[in-house]
Amino acid sequence: MWKGRFHEQTADLLRSFSESISFDWRLWRHDIAGSLAHSAALEKAGLISKDERAQIAAGLEQIGAEIEAGKFEWKVELEDIHMNIEAELTKRIGPAGAKLHTARSRNDQVATDIRLFLRDECVAIGAGLREMQRALVALAEREKDVLIPGYTHLQRAQPVYLGHHLLAYVEMFDRDRQRVADARRRMNVLPLGSGAIAGSTIVLDREMVAKMLGFDSITQNSMDAVSDRDFAVELLAALALVAVHLSRLSEDVILWASGEFGFVSLSDAYTTGSSLMPQKKNPDVAELARGKTGRVVGNLVSLLTTLKGLPMTYNRDMQEDKEPVFDSVDTIKASLAVFAGMLGGVKVNAAACAAAVADPMLLATDLADYLVNRGVPFRHAHELVGKAVALCTQRGCGLPQLSLADYQAISPEYRADLFDCFDLKKAMAARKGTGAPSPGNVAAQIVRWREALGA
């Protein structure tokens, strides 16, 4: 490809090994946008004429239209998105196209393109997270009266409203949305004008270019500008957390949809059957979202590993940033969209939920609180309730089935009103502290989130 100091053709093996056009073609819109802004700076500096800038703009617009229509021919021998577009532009408009690369390098060009690309993707991912939150809030509101056991260690712990459980994920995804937005803010700095490593003796108006491209500011160190991929790592870290949160929600859905739990059933549109067992209905969306988390986490580790041993500044290793970035972005956007769609078709089995939450052992902590309110230190109250539970286990009954005499044989602090602790409605109404799942609190949170999400 190169002339000048090279006297031999690039080996075919090296060409196929080093090309990136097979995946970085996706940056074409951003590459063209960067070139248009760069041409404006070249004209302002007197390095190209107004007519030459117009030729460049018209040529790039024509190339962009062909790419969008799927009619542009990508050439592997030209290696990457930048050279493919520039070479075709020069072929079409002549000398003006050859002037476009003045005072820039592919190093600062690709650093600009990937920031522009990810800046747009952050907006799309933020919108996907919002849709996911809306789907969860809608389900929480639709099933606002349903109680289920809350679990710790996958053991029944205390009763909670299903809506309270779902709103926990709304909180998680909101932190994810904030992290993505914060990553976008930090990446929105223009590196173009940094050249290959040390800028250029041809000084362009970088502030003007930044304004044209919607950047908040410009980089202040040319070496850092071309070698920085912190912004990509930061976004991949945020997306890895999104994936982990999706995976945790997936696990809940998978358990709830199982025959052992039976809390929910999933729409036929978002499940599959078995090739052998006709009775099966598999929660594929949740399983795939859980499985894809490994890829998204792996992409973060991959990029970190690629960067960890690089000396300043740009190294060809950094070409390896795009595939993990593209894959994580695509995976998260698809996972959010299909998961939100699946949640819209979830049907809750209220009878199964009611049967599970009727387990009186779920209110053992309430019984301890009853003793605390009578002046018993919590650790001692915990022990006294534990003795009652042990007696129930021995007899094969629940806490309400023990007699007052049984309780008073354990401790005289137990009184006849202890049985009020096993009234589930009263127990839930008493959970009025901020963040706790009383009916009023859950309803207020649903309203808060509906207003915040514009649902």
Which residues are annotated as catalytic?
153, 274
Backbone angles phi and psi of 155, in degrees to 5:
-115, 140
Q: Which residue has the tokens 């099933």?
A: 143
Q: Are strands 347-348 and 264-265 parallel, antiparallel or unpaired?
A: antiparallel
**CB-based contact 100:148 (threshold 8 Å):** no
Closest CA to 236 of 284, 285, 307: 307
**CB-based contact 321:232 (threshold 8 Å):** yes
- In residues, how long is the chain? 455
Q: What is the dihedral of CA 293, 299, 300, 306, to 10 degrees?
A: 160
Kindly tell me the sign of the dihedral angle through the C-alpha atoms of 48, 53, 59, 60. Answer: positive
Long-range contacts of 311-318 (CB under 8 A, 24+ apart): 312/223, 312/227, 313/107, 313/197, 313/223, 313/224, 313/226, 313/227, 314/107, 314/196, 314/197, 314/226, 314/227, 315/227, 316/18, 318/227, 318/229
Closest CA to 232 of 111, 355, 349: 111
393: preceding bond cis by omega (within 30 degrees): no
What 3-state DSSP class applies to 189?
strand
**CB-based contact 137:452 (threshold 8 Å):** no
281 vs 272: CA distance, rounded Å? 6
